[in-house]
Protein backbone atom coordinates (compact mmCIF):
# COMPACT_ATOMS: atom_id res chain seq x y z
CA UNK A 1 0.00 0.00 0.00
CA UNK A 2 1.38 3.42 -0.95
CA UNK A 3 1.87 5.73 2.02
CA UNK A 4 0.30 9.16 1.97
CA UNK A 5 2.64 12.12 1.87
CA UNK A 6 1.48 15.48 3.12
CA UNK A 7 3.44 18.30 1.53
CA UNK A 8 4.00 21.52 3.43
CA UNK A 9 1.70 24.31 2.27
CA UNK A 10 4.20 25.72 -0.17
CA UNK A 11 3.78 29.41 -0.86
CA UNK A 12 1.64 30.06 2.20
CA UNK A 13 2.95 33.63 2.18
CA UNK A 14 3.44 35.85 -0.83
CA UNK A 15 7.14 36.39 0.00
CA UNK A 16 7.90 32.71 -0.58
CA UNK A 17 6.75 32.77 -4.19
CA UNK A 18 9.10 33.70 -7.05
CA UNK A 19 8.26 36.99 -8.76
CA UNK A 20 6.53 35.37 -11.74
CA UNK A 21 3.18 36.28 -13.30
CA UNK A 22 1.31 32.96 -13.29
CA UNK A 23 -1.89 34.27 -14.88
CA UNK A 24 -3.04 32.44 -17.98
CA UNK A 25 -6.16 31.79 -20.03
CA UNK A 26 -8.01 29.00 -21.75
CA UNK A 27 -9.73 30.96 -24.47
CA UNK A 28 -12.15 33.36 -22.79
CA UNK A 29 -11.54 31.74 -19.40
CA UNK A 30 -9.00 33.85 -17.52
CA UNK A 31 -7.17 32.11 -14.68
CA UNK A 32 -4.95 33.68 -12.00
CA UNK A 33 -2.82 30.52 -11.83
CA UNK A 34 -2.04 27.62 -14.18
CA UNK A 35 -2.64 24.53 -12.01
CA UNK A 36 -6.07 22.89 -11.78
CA UNK A 37 -7.24 19.58 -10.40
CA UNK A 38 -7.87 16.75 -12.85
CA UNK A 39 -11.33 15.32 -13.27
CA UNK A 40 -11.94 12.13 -11.34
CA UNK A 41 -9.19 12.46 -8.76
CA UNK A 42 -10.56 15.00 -6.29
CA UNK A 43 -14.36 14.71 -6.61
CA UNK A 44 -15.58 18.32 -6.35
CA UNK A 45 -12.60 19.60 -4.36
CA UNK A 46 -14.17 19.47 -0.91
CA UNK A 47 -11.80 16.73 0.28
CA UNK A 48 -8.70 18.65 -0.81
CA UNK A 49 -9.80 21.89 0.84
CA UNK A 50 -8.80 20.53 4.25
CA UNK A 51 -5.17 20.34 3.08
CA UNK A 52 -4.83 23.69 1.27
CA UNK A 53 -6.91 26.61 0.05
CA UNK A 54 -8.39 25.37 -3.21
CA UNK A 55 -9.10 28.94 -4.34
CA UNK A 56 -5.31 29.43 -4.64
CA UNK A 57 -5.34 27.12 -7.68
CA UNK A 58 -6.33 28.12 -11.16
CA UNK A 59 -9.50 26.08 -10.77
CA UNK A 60 -11.24 22.86 -9.84
CA UNK A 61 -12.20 20.42 -12.57
CA UNK A 62 -14.91 18.23 -11.09
CA UNK A 63 -15.29 14.50 -11.48
CA UNK A 64 -17.28 13.77 -14.64
CA UNK A 65 -20.97 13.84 -13.82
CA UNK A 66 -23.68 12.01 -15.74
CA UNK A 67 -27.39 12.64 -16.11
CA UNK A 68 -28.45 9.97 -13.61
CA UNK A 69 -26.78 8.66 -10.44
CA UNK A 70 -24.33 5.80 -11.03
CA UNK A 71 -22.89 3.25 -8.64
CA UNK A 72 -19.95 2.47 -10.91
CA UNK A 73 -18.38 -0.85 -11.78
CA UNK A 74 -17.97 -3.91 -9.61
CA UNK A 75 -14.90 -4.29 -7.42
CA UNK A 76 -11.97 -4.69 -7.59
CA UNK A 77 -11.72 -1.60 -9.72
CA UNK A 78 -8.27 -0.20 -8.93
CA UNK A 79 -4.84 -1.73 -9.32
CA UNK A 80 -1.33 -0.37 -8.80
CA UNK A 81 1.10 -0.58 -11.70
CA UNK A 82 4.76 0.43 -12.06
CA UNK A 83 4.79 4.25 -12.02
CA UNK A 84 1.03 4.46 -12.14
CA UNK A 85 -2.34 2.92 -11.47
CA UNK A 86 -5.28 1.42 -13.30
CA UNK A 87 -8.81 2.47 -12.46
CA UNK A 88 -12.10 1.01 -13.58
CA UNK A 89 -14.41 3.11 -11.39
CA UNK A 90 -17.07 3.50 -14.04
CA UNK A 91 -18.01 7.17 -13.52
CA UNK A 92 -19.62 6.61 -10.15
CA UNK A 93 -21.49 9.75 -9.14
CA UNK A 94 -24.61 11.42 -7.77
CA UNK A 95 -26.17 12.53 -11.05
CA UNK A 96 -26.43 16.08 -12.34
CA UNK A 97 -29.30 17.31 -10.15
CA UNK A 98 -27.69 16.39 -6.84
CA UNK A 99 -24.32 17.59 -8.13
CA UNK A 100 -25.77 21.05 -8.84
CA UNK A 101 -27.59 21.20 -5.53
CA UNK A 102 -24.70 20.11 -3.31
CA UNK A 103 -21.27 20.07 -4.94
CA UNK A 104 -21.58 22.99 -7.33
CA UNK A 105 -23.34 25.11 -4.71
CA UNK A 106 -20.50 24.43 -2.26
CA UNK A 107 -17.82 25.32 -4.83
CA UNK A 108 -19.63 28.55 -5.69
CA UNK A 109 -19.91 29.48 -2.02
CA UNK A 110 -16.24 28.61 -1.49
CA UNK A 111 -15.25 30.97 -4.30
CA UNK A 112 -13.51 28.37 -6.46
CA UNK A 113 -13.27 28.66 -10.23
CA UNK A 114 -15.13 25.57 -11.35
CA UNK A 115 -14.93 23.67 -14.61
CA UNK A 116 -17.70 21.08 -14.67
CA UNK A 117 -16.78 17.82 -16.39
CA UNK A 118 -19.72 16.03 -18.01
CA UNK A 119 -20.08 12.56 -19.54
CA UNK A 120 -22.84 10.66 -21.31
CA UNK A 121 -23.57 7.40 -23.06
CA UNK A 122 -25.18 9.08 -26.08
CA UNK A 123 -25.45 12.52 -27.66
CA UNK A 124 -28.88 13.18 -26.17
CA UNK A 125 -27.51 12.79 -22.64
CA UNK A 126 -24.80 15.36 -23.31
CA UNK A 127 -27.46 17.73 -24.66
CA UNK A 128 -29.57 17.37 -21.52
CA UNK A 129 -26.54 17.89 -19.28
CA UNK A 130 -25.71 21.11 -21.12
CA UNK A 131 -29.29 22.30 -20.72
CA UNK A 132 -29.20 21.54 -16.99
CA UNK A 133 -26.06 23.62 -16.55
CA UNK A 134 -26.98 26.52 -18.83
CA UNK A 135 -28.36 28.92 -16.24
CA UNK A 136 -26.58 27.64 -13.15
CA UNK A 137 -24.30 30.19 -11.45
CA UNK A 138 -20.72 29.47 -10.47
CA UNK A 139 -19.54 27.67 -13.61
CA UNK A 140 -16.36 28.95 -15.25
CA UNK A 141 -16.29 26.35 -18.02
CA UNK A 142 -17.39 22.90 -19.15
CA UNK A 143 -15.07 19.99 -19.83
CA UNK A 144 -16.74 17.48 -22.13
CA UNK A 145 -15.44 14.00 -21.37
CA UNK A 146 -15.86 12.28 -24.72
CA UNK A 147 -13.68 9.34 -23.74
CA UNK A 148 -16.84 7.39 -22.93
CA UNK A 149 -18.40 4.50 -24.86
CA UNK A 150 -21.22 5.45 -27.22
CA UNK A 151 -23.90 2.86 -26.41
CA UNK A 152 -25.69 3.62 -29.68
CA UNK A 153 -22.62 2.80 -31.77
CA UNK A 154 -21.45 -0.65 -30.62
CA UNK A 155 -19.83 0.83 -27.52
CA UNK A 156 -17.13 2.69 -29.44
CA UNK A 157 -15.54 5.60 -27.58
CA UNK A 158 -16.73 9.02 -28.82
CA UNK A 159 -13.23 10.50 -28.82
CA UNK A 160 -11.85 7.80 -31.11
CA UNK A 161 -13.72 9.00 -34.19
CA UNK A 162 -13.90 12.56 -35.59
CA UNK A 163 -17.60 12.39 -36.44
CA UNK A 164 -18.78 11.03 -33.08
CA UNK A 165 -16.49 13.40 -31.17
CA UNK A 166 -17.76 16.41 -33.09
CA UNK A 167 -21.41 15.38 -32.70
CA UNK A 168 -21.09 15.53 -28.91
CA UNK A 169 -19.35 18.90 -28.93
CA UNK A 170 -21.95 20.33 -31.34
CA UNK A 171 -24.72 19.23 -29.00
CA UNK A 172 -23.08 20.71 -25.91
CA UNK A 173 -22.32 23.97 -27.73
CA UNK A 174 -25.88 24.22 -29.02
CA UNK A 175 -27.44 23.97 -25.57
CA UNK A 176 -24.82 25.94 -23.60
CA UNK A 177 -24.46 29.66 -23.09
CA UNK A 178 -22.69 30.94 -26.23
CA UNK A 179 -20.03 32.56 -24.02
CA UNK A 180 -19.33 29.40 -22.00
CA UNK A 181 -15.80 28.01 -22.55
CA UNK A 182 -16.03 24.38 -23.66
CA UNK A 183 -13.02 22.05 -23.42
CA UNK A 184 -13.11 18.72 -25.24
CA UNK A 185 -11.28 16.02 -23.28
CA UNK A 186 -9.50 13.71 -25.71
CA UNK A 187 -8.27 10.14 -25.50
CA UNK A 188 -4.71 9.14 -26.48
CA UNK A 189 -6.00 5.82 -27.84
CA UNK A 190 -6.21 7.07 -31.43
CA UNK A 191 -3.96 7.00 -34.48
CA UNK A 192 -3.91 10.77 -35.03
CA UNK A 193 -5.01 12.90 -32.08
CA UNK A 194 -4.65 16.12 -34.08
CA UNK A 195 -7.41 14.89 -36.41
CA UNK A 196 -9.78 14.53 -33.46
CA UNK A 197 -8.69 17.94 -32.16
CA UNK A 198 -9.48 19.57 -35.51
CA UNK A 199 -12.93 17.93 -35.51
CA UNK A 200 -13.96 19.11 -32.03
CA UNK A 201 -12.71 22.66 -32.62
CA UNK A 202 -14.72 22.87 -35.83
CA UNK A 203 -17.71 21.63 -33.83
CA UNK A 204 -17.44 24.44 -31.30
CA UNK A 205 -14.88 23.52 -28.66
CA UNK A 206 -12.97 26.55 -27.44
CA UNK A 207 -10.12 24.46 -26.10
CA UNK A 208 -8.71 20.97 -25.63
CA UNK A 209 -8.14 18.94 -22.46
CA UNK A 210 -5.48 16.34 -23.14
CA UNK A 211 -5.09 13.67 -22.19
CA UNK A 212 -7.48 11.23 -20.58
CA UNK A 213 -6.17 7.90 -19.29
CA UNK A 214 -4.98 5.30 -21.76
CA UNK A 215 -6.44 1.80 -21.75
CA UNK A 216 -4.47 -0.82 -19.84
CA UNK A 217 -4.77 -4.19 -18.17
CA UNK A 218 -3.19 -6.17 -15.34
CA UNK A 219 -3.27 -9.93 -14.81
CA UNK A 220 -3.25 -11.21 -11.23
CA UNK A 221 -0.70 -14.03 -11.37
CA UNK A 222 -2.07 -15.65 -8.21
CA UNK A 223 -5.62 -16.02 -9.51
CA UNK A 224 -4.42 -16.04 -13.14
CA UNK A 225 -7.35 -13.76 -13.95
CA UNK A 226 -7.64 -10.04 -14.78
CA UNK A 227 -6.97 -7.97 -11.65
CA UNK A 228 -9.92 -5.67 -12.38
CA UNK A 229 -13.52 -6.83 -12.39
CA UNK A 230 -14.03 -4.75 -15.52
CA UNK A 231 -10.97 -6.45 -17.12
CA UNK A 232 -9.46 -3.23 -18.51
CA UNK A 233 -9.00 0.17 -16.90
CA UNK A 234 -7.58 3.63 -17.41
CA UNK A 235 -3.83 3.91 -16.85
CA UNK A 236 -2.70 7.11 -15.12
CA UNK A 237 0.36 8.35 -13.25
CA UNK A 238 3.96 9.11 -14.30
CA UNK A 239 4.03 6.17 -16.73
CA UNK A 240 1.81 8.07 -19.17
CA UNK A 241 3.50 11.48 -18.94
CA UNK A 242 5.64 11.14 -22.11
CA UNK A 243 2.52 10.16 -24.05
CA UNK A 244 0.65 13.16 -22.69
CA UNK A 245 3.45 15.59 -23.52
CA UNK A 246 3.53 14.16 -27.04
CA UNK A 247 -0.23 14.69 -27.40
CA UNK A 248 0.04 18.31 -26.26
CA UNK A 249 2.93 18.88 -28.66
CA UNK A 250 1.08 17.42 -31.64
CA UNK A 251 -2.11 19.36 -31.00
CA UNK A 252 -0.21 22.62 -30.50
CA UNK A 253 1.65 21.98 -33.76
CA UNK A 254 -1.60 21.36 -35.63
CA UNK A 255 -3.68 24.06 -33.91
CA UNK A 256 -1.32 26.81 -32.74
CA UNK A 257 -4.09 29.17 -31.59
CA UNK A 258 -6.28 26.70 -29.66
CA UNK A 259 -5.82 26.72 -25.87
CA UNK A 260 -4.76 23.44 -24.28
CA UNK A 261 -5.23 22.16 -20.72
CA UNK A 262 -2.50 19.52 -20.35
CA UNK A 263 -2.51 16.56 -17.98
CA UNK A 264 -1.07 13.12 -17.46
CA UNK A 265 1.37 11.96 -14.78
CA UNK A 266 2.30 15.37 -13.40
CA UNK A 267 3.98 15.03 -9.98
CA UNK A 268 6.34 18.02 -9.84
CA UNK A 269 6.68 21.56 -11.11
CA UNK A 270 9.30 20.34 -13.56
CA UNK A 271 6.76 17.91 -15.00
CA UNK A 272 4.25 20.73 -15.37
CA UNK A 273 6.92 22.91 -17.02
CA UNK A 274 7.32 20.29 -19.76
CA UNK A 275 3.63 20.59 -20.59
CA UNK A 276 3.83 24.38 -20.71
CA UNK A 277 6.84 24.28 -23.03
CA UNK A 278 5.04 21.74 -25.24
CA UNK A 279 2.08 24.08 -25.67
CA UNK A 280 -0.30 23.82 -22.72
CA UNK A 281 -1.57 27.09 -21.24
CA UNK A 282 -2.51 25.37 -17.98
CA UNK A 283 -2.22 21.90 -16.44
CA UNK A 284 -4.39 19.55 -14.39
CA UNK A 285 -2.97 17.45 -11.56
CA UNK A 286 -4.62 14.14 -10.75
CA UNK A 287 -3.27 10.79 -9.59
CA UNK A 288 -0.56 12.26 -7.35
CA UNK A 289 -3.21 13.58 -4.92
CA UNK A 290 -3.96 10.03 -3.79
CA UNK A 291 -0.67 9.93 -1.88
CA UNK A 292 -0.02 13.68 -1.60
CA UNK A 293 -3.30 15.61 -1.23
CA UNK A 294 -1.59 19.00 -1.18
CA UNK A 295 0.36 18.29 -4.39
CA UNK A 296 -1.54 20.74 -6.66
CA UNK A 297 -0.45 23.79 -4.66
CA UNK A 298 3.08 22.42 -4.22
CA UNK A 299 3.36 21.83 -7.97
CA UNK A 300 2.11 25.35 -8.67
CA UNK A 301 4.85 26.75 -6.45
CA UNK A 302 7.49 24.52 -8.06
CA UNK A 303 6.32 25.55 -11.53
CA UNK A 304 6.74 29.21 -10.58
CA UNK A 305 10.27 28.39 -9.44
CA UNK A 306 11.02 26.56 -12.70
CA UNK A 307 9.85 29.57 -14.70
CA UNK A 308 11.97 31.93 -12.61
CA UNK A 309 15.03 29.68 -12.85
CA UNK A 310 14.73 29.64 -16.64
CA UNK A 311 14.41 33.40 -16.93
CA UNK A 312 10.66 33.74 -17.47
CA UNK A 313 8.85 36.55 -15.67
CA UNK A 314 5.48 35.47 -17.13
CA UNK A 315 4.06 32.01 -17.63
CA UNK A 316 2.48 33.11 -20.92
CA UNK A 317 5.95 33.65 -22.40
CA UNK A 318 6.86 30.00 -21.74
CA UNK A 319 3.78 28.50 -23.43
CA UNK A 320 4.93 26.59 -26.56
CA UNK A 321 8.51 27.78 -26.06
CA UNK A 322 9.86 24.37 -27.09
CA UNK A 323 8.37 24.92 -30.55
CA UNK A 324 10.72 27.82 -31.32
CA UNK A 325 13.17 27.50 -34.18
CA UNK A 326 16.56 26.09 -33.27
CA UNK A 327 19.15 28.81 -32.64
CA UNK A 328 21.46 29.21 -35.60
CA UNK A 329 24.55 29.28 -33.41
CA UNK A 330 23.93 25.78 -32.10
CA UNK A 331 23.47 24.16 -35.50
CA UNK A 332 26.45 21.93 -36.17
CA UNK A 333 27.80 21.45 -39.67
CA UNK A 334 28.48 17.71 -39.75
CA UNK A 335 31.05 17.99 -42.50
CA UNK A 336 33.06 20.63 -40.63
CA UNK A 337 32.79 18.95 -37.24
CA UNK A 338 33.96 15.60 -38.55
CA UNK A 339 36.23 16.61 -41.40
CA UNK A 340 37.98 13.66 -42.97
CA UNK A 341 41.69 14.23 -43.59
Q: What digits encode the pLDDT tens for the residues 150-180?
A: 667 666 799 999 999 999 999 999 999 999 9
Q: pLDDT band for position 25 (50/70/90)?
A: very high
Instruction: State the Cα angle at 299 between 294 and 300, rounded to 5°.
Output: 105
Is residue 115 predicted with pLDDT exceeding 60?
A: yes
For the residues 33-43, what does the mean pLDDT come to? 94
The SS3 assignment for 11 reads coil
188-227 burial code (b ≥16 CB/10 A, e <16)? bbbeebbebbbbbbebbbbbbbbbbbbebbbeeeeeeebb
CATH of region 14-337: 3.20.20.70
* Positions marked catalytic: 148
What whole-number distance in Å separates Cα of residue 335 and Cα of residue 182? 51
pTM: 0.91
| Residue 6 pLDDT > 60 | no
Question: Band of the pLDDT at 336, cuts 50, 70, 90?
Answer: very low
Contacts of 40 (CB under 8 A, 6+ apart): 63, 64, 87, 89, 117, 286
Pairing of strands 282-285, 35-37: parallel
Return the H-helix or E-strand segment holding 283.
Answer: strand 282-285
For the chain, the domains span 14-337
Compute the average pLDDT of residues 196-212.
98
Helices (H) and strands (E) in the chain — how many of each? Answer: 10, 18
Residue 72, pLDDT score: 87
CA distance 91 to 104: 17
pLDDT at position 196:
98
Amino acid sequence: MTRAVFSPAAGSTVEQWPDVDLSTSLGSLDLPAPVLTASGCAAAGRELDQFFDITALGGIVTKSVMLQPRSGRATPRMAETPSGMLNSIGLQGPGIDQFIEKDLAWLDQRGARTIVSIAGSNVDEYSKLAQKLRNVPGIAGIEVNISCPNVENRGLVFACQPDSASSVIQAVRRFSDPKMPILAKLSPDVTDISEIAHAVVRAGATGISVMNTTLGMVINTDTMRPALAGVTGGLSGPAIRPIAVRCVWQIRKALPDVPILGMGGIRTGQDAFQFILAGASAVSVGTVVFNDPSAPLRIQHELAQQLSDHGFSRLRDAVSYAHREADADIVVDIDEEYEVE
